[in-house]
Chain A
Amino acid sequence: MSAIAQLRITRGTQGEASRVEIHEVPFEPGQSVLDALRWIRAHRDPSLAIRYSCTSANTCKECMVSVDGKTVYACTARLEAREMNVAPLPNKRLIRDLVTEIAPPDERLGREQESR
């Protein structure tokens, strides 16, 4: 039997109780955690919210998440054939699932910018 990585993913939006979903992902040595999250979106559940741009060059710095309690870039964190806990960053405002507010404050849309 081929190897499996089991991802325990903390999901939810602000103001709702978070839940943990378990997904089993076919494991290939060398894969990143982001590869596994993208695989889940395409093959299991497209509603899983993640954010990334450069995909694997580690230049956009958008894919920061918590893996087993450590803050990492999902694109450089190595996937392993075991149980892994993936959660949104604990110290940033939650937007949805693994997406948190990481933009500099003056590049966000705030109430103060609403139309006159």
Chain B
Amino acid sequence: MHFETDVLVIGAGGAGMYAAIEAARGGARVLIADRSLIGRGGATIMAQMTVAVAVGEEVPDHWEHHYADTLAAGRGLCDPDLARLLCEEGPEVIREMDAWGVGWARTEGKTGPMKQAFAPGHDRPRCVYVDFLNTGPAVSKTLRTRLIRMPEIRRIGDLLVTELVLRDRKCVGATALHLATGGPVTISAAATVVATGGLTRLYQRNSASANMSGDGYALCLAAGAELVDMEFVQFFPIGHLAPRLIGMDPIMWDPFRYKLGGRLLNGNREGFVEKYGAVDNGKYVVTRDLATYAIIKEVEAGRGSPHGGAWLSFEHCSEAELRAAGGPVIDRLAKNGIDLTKQAIEVAPIAHYHMGGVRADTSMATRVPGLYVAGEAVGGANGANRLSGNAITEALVFGRKAGRSAAARAKSAGKARAGEAAFRESAARLNEGNATRDLNPAAMIEELQALMQKEAGPFRTGEGLARALGRIAAMSESLPAVKPPAGKPYDTELADWLDLSTMLSAARCVASSALTRTESRGAHQREDFPGMDPAWQKNQVIA
């Protein structure tokens, strides 16, 4: 099946949906494709917390203050132009979302000033949000409602893009596997926007959806674009580990800790962060990197909690305090059989966000003509460490910009589109394969996730990274001979095989960049090279 469109948007999270809306407003016909359901499968919908933006309604603010905080968090590695774009245009997109009825929390009624919450790393309260823990779902729903109202936008789910297609080194569209039928779909477009999110699925413990396999990085790299800052994966120190909770986001303990503190204890039920130079006192003041380090070291020393993390205890809090802090979440915990006044839960560092990504200019153009990126797929704006609250702002600002640029390119291209013939080879690659193979790609994905968690996680060594690269190379080598052919409806083995190829490509980029960077900076911590090295105040680029 073949389609022609002005603008193809790959990925229907916050960035992709905003890009599609903006491209359509710019006069383009748009096709937005997602491997999952439209507006349901990305990272945006899972965001519970806050959106950093200098709206200055409750407390005076200016984008330049937000910009200064973003640069400071990025430890000298932010792309200043991208960081500035994020901060400067943030208020516009937040106000547009407000006009579309997202429902930002306000100090009074429906027209009072927007509330601004404080988050670590900001010089003042700067974060808007939607109550209660509903920011991501509200943002997704608002954008999806706009999309549906625009007849210029065609929405297609279950499309897993496998290749960006080039002609004369320009991106002319993409080839995808249509999961529901198992057949290839080709899409010819004057401009393509990649908005596929990050790569947190590379890690055994992660906070994002199963769709965050690094697809966009692998697709763009194969098409000739550059990747930047790939070594910088942000870990969240107290992701939920055990007991198994259902229907809850693993980063749920953050708001509790903001409000109540909570005690981090090792497997012997002793406080331990103080041993690593932190002052905790049951308050939530230990920085994320130190908490992560302390938990990992206790586990290594055989003092972890039963599932390999640390205990987080609120047992000293009264039921009334817990209810005031958690509201309806206390009932959901009760349904899971958890009473925080009587038991501690187990937490561990989990992969949360990726600072690196595809290199783009402030129009969101990559170095491949016709290829644009948006959202977490973009690298550089956050440098070595992302400031709390910048991810949704980035999705919306970069999505809008990419949509605008893509529509302008489509307009200047007129009616010229690559014909179906340009897509034949990539469709054939999807169809070919070995139907009689012995392979469990789902098990191999778990193996890769365990490998990355151990060797390329929050703390790294040269030896561990070299081991990771060796294993990644061996796994990559074994893959081509066992590719399942396309053709079966909802063939999860083929989908897993495609994801594994993508994940291995992204994993190699993370591990090789991490091995080369012989210093510790922001989210990249090398045990064999502690401390920042001024000579390393530079960005690594992979092409």
- Hey, which bits of chain A sit against chain B, CB under 8 A? 13-14, 28-32, 35, 38, 41-43, 46-62, 73, 75-78, 95-97, 99, 101-103, 106-109, 113-115
Considering the complex of A and B, which 8 residue pairs feature the smallest CB-CB distances, nearest first? Answer: A30-B244, A115-B2, A53-B41, A58-B247, A96-B490, A76-B247, A53-B209, A46-B442
Report the minimal beta-carbon distance from B433 to chain A, rounded to whole angstroms: 14
Among A30, A43, A46, A103, point to the contact of B37 (Cβ < 8 A): A103
Q: Is the CB of B244 within 8 A of A48?
A: no
The number of A-B residue pairs with CB atoms under 8 Å apart is 141
Q: Mark B34-76, 1 if CB is under 8 A from A, else 0.
A: 0011101100011000000000000000000000000000000
Tell which of B150-158, B312-320, B366-374 binds the partner: B150-158
Q: Is the CB of B490 within 8 A of A57?
A: no
Interface of B is mostly: loop
Report the minimal beta-carbon distance from B75 to chain A, rounded to whole angstroms: 30
Q: Is the CB of B37 within 8 A of A62?
A: yes
A-B pairs with beta carbons under 8 Å apart, 19 shown: A29-B337, A30-B243, A46-B441, A46-B493, A53-B210, A54-B46, A55-B209, A56-B247, A56-B248, A56-B250, A57-B46, A58-B247, A59-B45, A60-B41, A95-B180, A103-B38, A103-B158, A107-B155, A109-B180
CA distance A75 to B246 in the complex (A): 6
Report the minimal beta-carbon distance from B474 to chain A, rounded to whole angstroms: 19
Among B245, B445, B490, B496, point to the contact of A51 (Cβ < 8 A): B490
Among A30, A46, A101, A102, point to the contact of B336 (Cβ < 8 A): A30
Please give, as numbers and ranges, the residues of chain B lying within 8 Å of A54 by CB-CB distance: 41, 45-46, 209-210
Does B492 have its Cβ within 8 Å of any Cβ on chain A?
A: yes
CA distance A25 to B65 in the complex (A): 54
Report the minimal beta-carbon distance from B192 to chain A, rounded to whole angstroms: 18
Please give, as numbers and ranges, the residues of chain B lying within 8 Å of A41 by CB-CB distance: 442, 492
Among A48, A53, A58, A77, point to the contact of B211 (Cβ < 8 A): A53
CA distance A14 to B181 in the complex (A): 11
Q: A59-B46, A96-B488 are in contact. Are A42 and B443 (CB under 8 A)?
A: yes
CA distance A98 to B530 in the complex (A): 49
What range describes how many residues of B lie at the interface? Answer: 35 or more
Does B136 have its Cβ within 8 Å of any Cβ on chain A?
A: yes
Q: Is the CB of B244 within 8 A of A28?
A: yes
Please give, as numbers and ranges, the residues of chain A lying within 8 Å of B492 by CB-CB distance: 41, 46-50
Contact residues of B between 207 and 224, Cβ < 8 Å to A: 209-211
CA distance A52 to B445 in the complex (A): 16
Q: A49-B491, A96-B488, A106-B155 are in contact. Are A57 and B249 (CB under 8 A)?
A: yes
Q: Which residue of B lies closest to A60 (CB)?
A: B40
